[in-house]
Amino acid sequence: MANIVTSACCVVLAAVVVVYAQRRSQQGGRIQYEMIGSDVTMMCGTLESDASVTWKVNGTDVKADKVEGPRLILKEVALASNGLYSCFENPTGDLKDQITLRVGEPPKEPVVTCRSNTYPKGFYCTWHLPHPSYIPTEFEVSVKHGNKKLEFQKDPVHKNRCYVKYPELFSTNKYKVNVIAINALGNSSTYISFDEFSIVKPDPPEKLVANPVPNNVRRLEVTWNNPSTWPDAENFPLKYFLRYRPLILDQWQHVELSDSTSHTITDAYAGKEYIIQVAAKDTEIGTWSDWSVAIHATPWMEVPRQHITSTTEAGIAETSPSPAPPSAKPQLSAAMGGSSVLTCRADSL
């Protein structure tokens, strides 16, 4: 029985080794990273300097600038040079080595942005490269409050984002975030420092609705909800900035409101469709949110009565139907407005 189990284990192990070898062969024996525009030399394994070899890339003969024994020399490589390079010993044609060439650049200084849309719970930071490096690049992140290193949680979906809890509120100590981009060709870093209040920016208000006021051709009742991400509107109230305009005009009208999630527009043009948006901001600190999703609404319109005309000659009464009034139901539109967040570039530590 023991021999049977041992034999079975050996068979499984052998299968795993074969699969691994196949995958390694498919992916190339090793990866060689080189900089765009550089001259590249690839060696065919450990063959002697006087060996004669043939090179192929992705199964096709290589148009090489130079072949010296087991060495392949490529001049000023570009992205088109990427591929799986294989070398075969002459005259047997035996495969001796495989190299996956990956051409790219060292990373530039990453762009780092931090924002608190859940004040006073915490903030998040994101980062990205301003230019592609074309090869795998990893990021190392550190966050400090004063001289104390803070723990953070990486976003499971957005790999270049992390979340940080505020260790204390109303602190005068600055927050410091350092992001290092690293790949096989080099590394680069960005360091930013900021105060707690400077990165506070709520998300836009939600569920914006505008309804006509019955029997009033110039009024619209507008209501909205606080952003659901804002955790404590009672102790950290928001103020609002409402803007509206008729579709026939480009100029916006604005109203700033304190601690109120409704407003009545009283100067609308009768019968004209309006576009309406609202933004939010902490009453004391931070910056305004982006604009909410835009909605469309039209003030109340009186339905014209039907007119009755008589035909005396035929003695038959005829009616002329009037056109149906336009719908006053708000319709969703695309979001408008841009974003404004704290963005800093590299400083020396």
Quote the pTM value. 0.72
CA 217 to chain centre: 43
Separation of alpha carbons 301 and 327, rounded Å: 9
pLDDT of 228 above 70: yes
> DSSP string of 136-172?
--EEEEEEEETTEEE--EE-SS-TTEEEEE-SSSS--
Mean pLDDT calculated for residue range 286-300: 97
Q: Which two tokens stand for residue 244?
A: 């509206």
Predicted confidence at residue 8, as pLDDT, reads 39
Q: pLDDT tens for residues 72-123?
A: 999 999 999 999 999 999 999 999 999 999 999 999 999 999 999 999 999 9
pLDDT of 325 above 80: no
Least confident of 120-124, 171-175, 230-234, 307-311: 307-311
What separation in angstroms does the CA of 213 have from each of 31, 210, 218, 266, 301? 70, 10, 8, 10, 10
Separation of alpha carbons 339 and 239, rounded Å: 18
Which position has the higher pLDDT, 331 or 154? 154
Q: pLDDT tens for residues 151-169?
A: 999 999 999 999 999 999 9
Neighbours of 285 (CB within 10 A): 17
Sequence letter at residue 249 = L
Residue bearing tokens 């498919």: 26
What mean pLDDT value characterizes the chain?
83
27-39 burial, b for 16+ CB within 10 Å, e for fewer? Answer: ebbeebbbbbeee
Of 62-66, 102-106, 338-342, which has the strongest mean pLDDT? Answer: 102-106
